[in-house]
Structure 1
Amino acid sequence: MAVESRHFDFMLEAIREAEASIAQGGLPIGAVLTRDNKIIARGHNNRVQENNVILHGEMSCLREAGTISFHDTVMYTTLSPCSMCAGALALFKVSLVVIGESVTFAGSKDILDKFGIPGSTLPTTARSP
């Protein structure tokens, strides 16, 4: 089954957020939130920069999105969500979570599964042109 190219495009934007975190002295984790194939919020791990243990990439992205309805949104995150972030994504009913990497940190896909939120890890092979 082929992965839609837009998933790679949006993951690249999440990677750019991770790079922004590195440039600020933070941890290399980024996220973007989309609706209708448009980015509506961005975020990266700000735990170090703001001395705040809850500002993971996904949480920063949700914070930037504000008080919107998360129905029909897709979260792209460079690293598999931890239990806190997976719980927030479940609470706000994000429709799909696309994960860049889940080997280094397996995360809490079980929480997403429990709440019926599909989670998909992108393949590690480069996309074809």
Structure 2
Amino acid sequence: MTDPVREPWREPMRQALAEAALALRTADVPVGAVVLGPDGDVLARAHNEREAVGDPTAHAEVLALRAAARAKGSWRLSGCTLVVTLEPCTMCAGAVVLSRVDRVVFGAPDAKAGAAGSLWDVVRDRRLNHRPEVVRGVLAGACGALLTDFFRNGTHPGAVRGAEDGPGNGPDTDFG
């Protein structure tokens, strides 16, 4: 049976997954993001580049939101949707709120650092002046598998700690 909530976001999530795969070239955690304009067209896409550029803030979400703001000519991304393969962390969730996107769609939840409902819920905090809609679990299996493979195969520079240190690789993993 088709899921009417997640179905419209499957194709943009496939694009985000393709973007995530690009992060592997520089041993970055494979997270990809796509920003859709109000008309559904892609405004921007990005993948993690922390290792590539040596910048701790070079997360896929932040880079995609910056590129979308440049493309739109405004930091206010009202009417836009951020589609990302992994649940945003606190920094990225803050950027989501500040950018005023209408919606954030993510694939794999992050039980260890997620800030869109798993560990924290920054994006829906009633004390903040903007609360985007959240759609979770779109192609969660594919998104989670990409991350799990990355950490288990030792591709990540920190992988020597063990696969259990990767995002969502704990007993409460919810890649469903």
TM-score, reference length from structure 2: 0.66
**Contact residue 79 and residue 105 of structure 1 kept, 8 A:** no
Residues 85-112 of structure 1: CA distance to partner in whole angstroms, max 9, x if unpaired?
Answer: 1001101111000011104545111111
Pick the aligned partner of 2:51 from 31, 48, 52.
Answer: 48
Given that 2:97 and 2:132 are in contact with CA atoms closer than 8 Å, whether structure 1 keeps it comes out as yes
Stretches of 4+ moved more than 6 A in 1? none
Question: Alpha-carbon deviations, 1:46-84, whole Å to 9, x = none?
Answer: 100000000101011012222423000000010000111
Structure 2 residue aligned with 1:81: 88
Query: Is 1:94 matched with 2:101?
Result: yes
User: If you compute each CA radius of gyration, which structure gives the higher value, 1 or 2?
Assistant: 2
CA, structure 1 residues 16+40, in 2 after alignment: closer, same or farther (shift >3 Å)? same
More helix by share: 2
Paired residue for 2:124, among 90, 96, 113?
A: 113
Which residue is 2:10 aligned to? Answer: 8
- SS of 1:72's equivalent in the other structure is coil
* Residue ranges of structure 2 left out of the alignment (5+ in a row): 143-176
Report the aligned-residue RMSD. Answer: 1.9
Find the counterpart in structure 1 of residue 20 from structure 2.
Answer: 18
Structure 1 unaligned residues grouped into runs of 5+:
none
Q: TM-score by structure 1 length?
A: 0.88
Q: Distance in 1 between matches of 2:50 and 2:141?
A: 30
Asked if 2 retains the 8 angstrom alpha-carbon contact of 1:27 and 1:45, the reply is yes
For structure 1, which segment, 63-72 or 11-20, has the greater mean C-alpha deviation from structure 2 after superposition?
A: 63-72
Displacement of 1:6 in angstroms is 3.1
Q: 1:33 to 1:105 in 2, by over 3 A?
A: farther
The structure carrying a bigger strand percent of its residues is 1
How many pairs were matched up? 126
The letter of the residue matching 2:19 is E
